[in-house]
Amino acid sequence: MTRPQIDGLLQKIESTEKIEAGSERAKAIVNRILRDLFYTIEDLDIQPDEVWTAVNYLTQAGQNEEYGLIAAGLGIEHFLDLRMDEEEEKAGMTGGTPRTIEGPLYVAGAPKSKGFARIDDGTEVEQGEIFFMQGKVLDADNNPIPNAIVEVWHANLKGNYSYFDQSQSDFNLRGTIETDENGNYQFRSILPSGYGVPPGGSTEVLLNAVGRHGNRPSHVHFFVSAPGCRKLTTQINFDGDPYLWDDFAFATREGLIPDLTVITDVEKIKEKGLDKPFS
């Protein structure tokens, strides 16, 4: 079909929209996506069986609850970050810790503590490496923010997240830490493993079809919020991870790879009390 023929059909479809009904925003978005889809089907000569394969694929992906994962894997979530960065730049809001994607695995309501939290339940402490992190929450003028809320979540040694992985205890590797009077927070956990999309799932099917992998480097997620401030959504990565700059979700950014201190000296570990559970 020619473009004018396609445009004729699109006009016919749009003409069935009642002026006083629905929302103008929904109409604009749906009509635009439909136009781009019709043009794509025409330009790439997509066959009916391919369209129905796609419809069935989407049905399955929804049943698998994988749309959030697909949005990450297609770079849609990262694209939204780049757009928010641009908006802030235009408004003259520069500096601070870079944002990066939330991903689909946050769970609200993790146990809250003041200043410090141990967020691992201890089940993997023997196999894993103990991990400490500390930081300071600052406002735009670099003043510490007491009572800021730092929410942290990450995967276990198998790359799985509690709640989604029902074999883990509730809120394992998730915590809510309120900064102390100096804006500081600390937590103890175990170093997470990288993440891989569920084997046999819809995201994997899509990535395989375009010759991509579905792996993320090891990472820890953060929400940082305080009254009167925009909420920061970000992550950290660990230097040396083979997937550090090959994340299927495109989330790695300069400024989000903090310096690590590795302590292997058993005496030092004992000296600092790191061999014992924190209370």
The contact set with ligand MBD (CB under 6 A) reads: 69, 72, 101, 103-105, 195, 216, 249, 251
Considering beta carbons, is residue 258 or 277 the nearer one to ligand MBD? 258
Q: Are 247 and 279 in contact, with CB atoms under 8 Å apart? A: no
185 is catalytic: no
Binds 236, which of ligand MBD, Fe ion, none (CB < 5 to 8 A, cut-off by type)?
A: none
Burial zone of 236 (CB within 10 Å; 0-12 exposed, 13-18 middle, 19+ buried): buried
Q: Which of 118, 216, 243, 253 is catalytic?
A: 216
The DSSP symbol for 128 reads: S
Q: Which of 161, 174, 185, 188 is catalytic?
A: 161
CB of 242 to ligand MBD, least distance (A): 16
Taking the C-alpha atoms of residue 163 and residue 172, their distance in angstroms, rounded to an integer, is 8
Considering beta carbons, is residue 105 or 256 the nearer one to ligand MBD? 105
57 is catalytic: no
CB of 251 to ligand MBD, least distance (A): 6
Total of chain residues touching Fe ion, rule CB under 5 A? 1
Sign of CA dihedral 167, 157, 150, 183: positive
Of 73, 103, 135, 214, the one binding Fe ion by CB under 5 A: 103
Q: Are 215 and 195 in contact, with CB atoms under 8 Å apart? A: yes
Binds 69, which of ligand MBD, Fe ion, none (CB < 5 to 8 A, cut-off by type)?
A: ligand MBD
Considering beta carbons, is residue 38 or 154 the nearer one to ligand MBD? 154
Taking the C-alpha atoms of residue 68 and residue 70, their distance in angstroms, rounded to an integer, is 5
Which residue is it, tokens 């996506």?
Answer: 33
**Spatial CA neighbour of 11 closest among 28, 29, 31, 25:** 31
Q: Which residues pair with 178 in a beta bridge?
A: 114, 149
Q: Does residue 28 sit in helix, strand or coil?
A: helix
Which residue is it, tokens 């796609």?
Answer: 54
Q: Which of 78, 154, 219, 253 is catalytic?
A: 219
Considering beta carbons, is residue 103 or 201 the nearer one to Fe ion? 103
Residue whose beta carbon is closest to ligand MBD: 103
39 is catalytic: no
What is the binding site for Fe ion (CB under 5 A)? 103
Catalytic residue numbers, as ranges: 161, 195, 216, 219, 221
